[in-house]
Every structure is written in structure tokens, then in C-alpha cells.
Amino acid sequence: MRKGNDYTYIIIKNTFLSSIFITVVFFIFFQTYMLLIPDHGLSMKFVLILTGVVFIISLMCGLYFGYNAINNINKQFRMLLQFISMLRRGNFTERVRSNEMGILGEELNEIATILEEQVQTIQRIADEKAELHEQVHTAAVMEERQRLARELHDSVSQQLFALSMMASATMKLMESNPKHAKNQMEQIADIAAKAQGEMRALLLHLRPVDLSGESLSDGVLSLLKELKAKTNINFDASVDEIEGLSKSVEEHLFRIIQESLSNILRHADADSIKLELTERDHFVYLYIRDNGKGFNTEEEKKASYGLKNMQERCEEIGGIFTLRSQIGKGTYIEVRVPISRVD
């Protein structure tokens, strides 16, 4: 046992010392009694035996009550550790019974209340940011359309013009120089494939980055359906309808999912993605895993804008963001957001 640090040792030591103290007081009392009353009729042997009995009884009683006290303290400490663990995991709705922990329990409940209120405040601020975002959305859409129009003119339109010119020239060569015409047809096919790829990229870029009035589950299912049609990746998805979420929470979660899937498609070289979105113990639970090439999380976190963006979005709504990756074995993210219901 560690002296000075182990409360069990302290209780046993104090029990033993108190038993000695009671025994000494008892012995002194009888010695004084024998001195003051000559005809006491008590022998020293009887007094010593009685003193020993008192010591044993007091020690046994002390150990019994001390043992009960230790069990009670252990029980309260276990409750305390369990409650602190729940707070660490972001579960701010639970409360410890203050009558069990006394002032400490009341203080911990007060901390949990403050944390819960802070989460609600964070989500309310996120709602306000979402409203501000809507106010500038129209201008941003117009600017994006102009940018895409310029890109269409600079890339795809030029490629289509080149295709038209080459196709005309190839038609003239079909009879006079079939071999050269075949080479030109291969070039035409290559340019057409590149043009198709750029058009697909632009069309995907035109996809709304918000839910556009859909629920979170509908938006996620729509996104997955689109990706299934345009990629060869196998999706294992479980998406539940989660009611009562604020608009900002839904928007942030949807963008986290978009960003995660985008990272997988661009960097992971994965052929399988598992996605789970559900409600667990008053939390929105999001899990996305791929079987791609993985990466060094410490190095990637510092350099990846996408990972930072996902973590910041999660923290903006009071959530906890977890990322794990192993080179050659894939990557997964886990997001847990406390649910603050809206009427």
C-alpha cells in the first residue's frame, strides 16, 4: 500500500490507532479507579485481560465499519469515474446523484449542465451561420455559373471544335489514306474521352453542396445513388431517418459526408466503402470506412485541407471527430454529435 496516497491504508491505520487510543484510555481509567478506591476488588490480571478484550472489540468494530466505508468510497469513486468518462465521450445529458457524491457530485452536475448548454450554444451559432450563408448563396451561385461557363468555353468547347475539324478531315481521308484516317480516328476517340471526362467533372461540380430542402437521410441516399451510377465502387450503406435535427447540424453532417467521400474517390484507390448514419444514445453517429491504401494520419492532418475542414465542421456543432488510418488497410472516420432537438 502507498502511504499518504492510498485511502484504504489511511482508514486501516486510523482504525488501528483509534483502537490503541481507546484501549489506553480504558487502561488508564481502571488504573485510576484502582488507585482511588483501595477496596476495588480487581486484580491487575483481570484489568489486563479486560483491556485486551476492549482492544480486540474496538479493533474489530473499527475494521468492520472501516471496511464498509472503504466499499462505499470505492462505489462512489467508480460512479465518479464512469460519469467523467461519459463527459469525456461527449454525453452531457447524464447526471450523477448528488446525494451519493455530496458537493463533488453537485459540482460535476453543474459542469455537465454548462457543457450541455455550450453545445446548444454552439449549435445555435451554427444555425445563425447557416442563415448568413443563405443570404450570400444566390450571389455565390451566380459567380459559380459564370466561372463554369468560362471553363466550358475554354476547355470543352475548344475540344469539341477540334473534334469537328478532325472529323471533317478524317472523312476526306477515308478513301485516299485509310491508315492515316485510322490514326486520326484514334485521336478523335482520345479527345472525345477527355472531353467527356471534363464534362462529367463539371456536372458533378454543379451538384448542390447543401441539402436543397431534402432531409439528411434523403440527401445522403441521393448522393450515394449518384456515385454508384458513376463509379465502380461497392457501397455498403445504412442510413436512418433522424428526426428533429437543426438545419445547421444536418448541413454540416452532409458536407462532412461529401468531403469524406470526395477524399476517398480522389486519393484512396478503394473499391469498397461502408457508410453508417444512425442515432445512438442521444447522439448522431456517422461512420465511413474504405478499404483503400490508407495514409500516415499525423502527416496528412497537417497538410490536408479536407480533413481539417471535416474536423472543424464537426466541432462547430459540438461533435467529436475521430480519424483512423493504416497504410495498406484503409481509413475510417467516426463522428458523434449530441442531439439537441428542435421543435
Q: pLDDT tens digit string along 124-150?
A: 787 777 777 666 666 656 665 666 666
- Give the span between the Cα atoms of 277 and 264, in whole angstroms: 17
User: What is the distance of C-alpha 114 from the center of its chain?
Assistant: 20
pLDDT of residue 277: 97
pLDDT of residue 150: 66
Report if residue 224 sits inside a domain: yes
Please tell me whether residues 341 and 217 are part of one structural domain.
Answer: yes
pLDDT of residue 41: 64
Share of the chain above pLDDT 70, in %: 75
Please tell me whether residues 262 and 306 are part of one structural domain.
Answer: yes
Is the pLDDT confidence value at 287 over 90?
Answer: yes
Report if residue 115 sits inside a domain: no
User: Cell 468531403 belongs to which residue?
Assistant: 259
Report if residue 46 sits inside a domain: yes
In which band, very low, low, confident or very high, does the pLDDT at 4 lie, cut at 50, 70 and 90? Answer: very low
Backbone φ and ψ for 341, nearest 5 degrees, come out as: -60, 145
- For the chain, give the mean pLDDT: 77
Report if residue 96 sits inside a domain: no
User: What is the distance of C-alpha 308 from the center of its chain?
Assistant: 14
pLDDT of residue 210: 62
Please tell me whether residues 194 and 254 are part of one structural domain.
Answer: no
Q: Which domain holds residue 196?
A: 120-206
What pLDDT digit, counting tens, does each position of 218-229 carry? 999 988 998 888
322 DSSP β-pair partners: 334
Please tell me whether residues 252 and 331 are part of one structural domain.
Answer: yes
Please tell me whether residues 326 and 297 are part of one structural domain.
Answer: yes
What pLDDT digit, counting tens, does each position of 228-281 carry? 887 788 999 999 999 888 888 998 999 899 888 878 887 788 889 999 999 998
Which of the two residues, 101 and 280, has the higher pLDDT score?
280
Q: Which of 110-114, 271-275, 319-323, 334-338 has the lowest mean pLDDT?
A: 110-114
| Among candidate residues 206, 234, 264, the one where a domain is terminated | 206
Closest CA to 288 of 332, 327, 322, 255: 332
Report if residue 109 sits inside a domain: no
Is the pLDDT confidence value at 36 over 70?
Answer: no
Using CB atoms within 10 Å of the CB of residue 45, give its burial: 0 to 12 exposed, 13 to 18 middle, 19+ buried.
exposed
What pLDDT digit, counting tens, does each position of 175-217 carry? 777 777 788 888 887 777 666 645 654 554 455 556 777 889 9
| Cβ neighbours around 329 below 10 Å, total | 11
pLDDT of residue 242: 92
Q: Pick the most confident of 1-10, 207-216, 258-267, 315-324.
A: 315-324
Report if residue 98 sits inside a domain: no
pLDDT of residue 2: 44
Share of the chain above pLDDT 90, in %: 19
Please tell me whether residues 340 and 220 are part of one structural domain.
Answer: yes
Please tell me whether residues 129 and 253 are part of one structural domain.
Answer: no
Please tell me whether residues 198 and 241 are part of one structural domain.
Answer: no
Please tell me whether residues 332 and 220 are part of one structural domain.
Answer: yes
CATH code of 282's domain: 3.30.565.10
Please tell me whether residues 198 and 165 are part of one structural domain.
Answer: yes
Is the pLDDT confidence value at 24 over 80?
Answer: no
Backbone φ and ψ for 234, nearest 5 degrees, come out as: -90, 125
Q: Give me the DSSP letters along 230-292.
A: H---EEEEEE---TT--HHHHHHHHHHHHHHHHHIIIII--SEEEEEEEEETTEEEEEEEE-S
Please tell me whether residues 309 and 335 are part of one structural domain.
Answer: yes
| Among candidate residues 206, 238, 272, the one where a domain is terminated | 206
Is the pLDDT confidence value at 286 over 80?
Answer: yes
Report if residue 137 sits inside a domain: yes
pLDDT of residue 228: 86
Report if residue 301 sits inside a domain: yes
Q: Which of 19-28, 206-215, 320-329 has the lowest mean pLDDT?
A: 206-215
284 DSSP β-pair partners: 279, 337
Please tell me whether residues 35 and 132 are part of one structural domain.
Answer: no
User: What is the distance of C-alpha 50 from the center of its chain?
Assistant: 65
pLDDT of residue 1: 40
| Among candidate residues 158, 190, 206, the one where a domain is terminated | 206
Q: How many structural domains compose the chain?
A: 3
- Give the span between the Cα atoms of 267 and 325, in whole angstroms: 13
